[in-house]
Amino acid sequence: NSSVNVLTDINTPSLGLHYEAKKCLRNPGLFKQIMQRLFYSGALSESARHKILISAQICFMELPLNTPFECAALLINQNRLAPSAHVFQQLYEKFQEEGDGLTALLANIVTQHPALLEAETEFVLINDDEFDRPLATLLLTDGKISPQVCMHALNWLWNYDSELFAGSLFFAPAMLPQLAPGLVDDDMRRALLVQSLKAGDIPHTAISQVLSSLTDPDYHVFLSNKEHRSVVYTEPFSRMADLLASAGFIQSLKVNEARKRIRFVPHNSPAFRRE
């Protein structure tokens, strides 16, 4: 039995493991207790702990007392720590001094159970009344969370505080076309598009899809197939035009504030110079 091998291969005679190994096969609870004692033994190497996790099939429903950071990370990586709100809170409280290490740890446990982010968005992303931007960035940019859950989280954050979207990017711009139809409204779609354009990491096809998803037809002018377009100047529209021009999505942008006009070559214009 592989469980017996794990127990007898590790030289910790003070635990009386040869005797306990025989008993634990008839007593699963005792086996689990012994394996937990083994796992947290200071005499064990990292490889020995890894071997225990593979062989013993233990899943901890809560973070055991005195768990060092490295052991917690190993438990999570091997799916041996329940991905629950209770465990999330335990990790947050115990390892706050780990900084970025804690952020990665929390992201790892949430990606194992994305429903936690969907059901407990505030609990996961708002810590001590502050938006956890680094954690949100890890969760919403690595592709492990489905677009549906990302959309839910972004909508919740928009309703919580739309000013969060004026800061640094914390979602994957490439996902924006998938997200746009399900976002709260045009204001949110424009805000996320502006944030993506400022980050400079969104392809032209994605820009086209997001602009097409806007219910405000004024913004469809950037997709016009006419040679040039001249539209009424407004500050929000001018800011969007500046960002689109910087991204190379429109060309020959000219703003005449005195005449209150904005002129440019739209993206689908036959006059648009494509490389």
Q: Between 178 and 27, name the one with better pLDDT.
A: 178
Dist. CA 223–CA 36, nearest whole Å: 62
Q: Give the CATH fold of the 216-275 domain.
A: Ribosomal Protein S8; Chain: A, domain 1 (3.30.1370)
Q: What is the pLDDT of residues 228-239, one digit of tens each?
A: 999 999 998 999
Q: 3-state class of 249 per DSSP?
A: coil
pLDDT the model gives residue 51: 67
46 band by pLDDT with thresholds 50, 70 and 90: low
68 band by pLDDT with thresholds 50, 70 and 90: confident
Dist. CA 273–CA 181, nearest whole Å: 30
Q: Are strands 126-127 and 130-131 parallel, antiparallel or unpaired?
A: antiparallel
Amino acid 86 reads H
Where do the domains of the chain lie? 1-58, 216-275
Residue 94 confidence (pLDDT) above 90: yes
pLDDT the model gives residue 187: 94
- Which among 231, 269, 233 is positioned nearest to 250, based on CA atoms? 269
**CA atoms in the 13 A half-sphere facing the CB of 220:** 7
User: Could you give the dihedral angle defined by the CA atoms of residues 92, 94, 100 and 106, in that order, rounded to the nearest 10 degrees?
Assistant: -40
pLDDT the model gives residue 18: 37
Residue 39 confidence (pLDDT) above 80: no
Rounded alpha-carbon distances, angstroms, from residue 264 to 2, 229, 240:
71, 6, 12
Q: What is the pLDDT of residues 101-135, one digit of tens each?
A: 999 999 999 999 999 999 999 999 999 899 999 99
Dist. CA 192–CA 186, nearest whole Å: 10
Weakest-pLDDT range from 48-57, 72-81, 113-122, 159-168: 48-57
Q: What is the pLDDT of residues 216-274, one digit of tens each?
A: 999 999 999 999 999 999 998 999 999 999 999 999 999 988 889 999 999 999 999 88
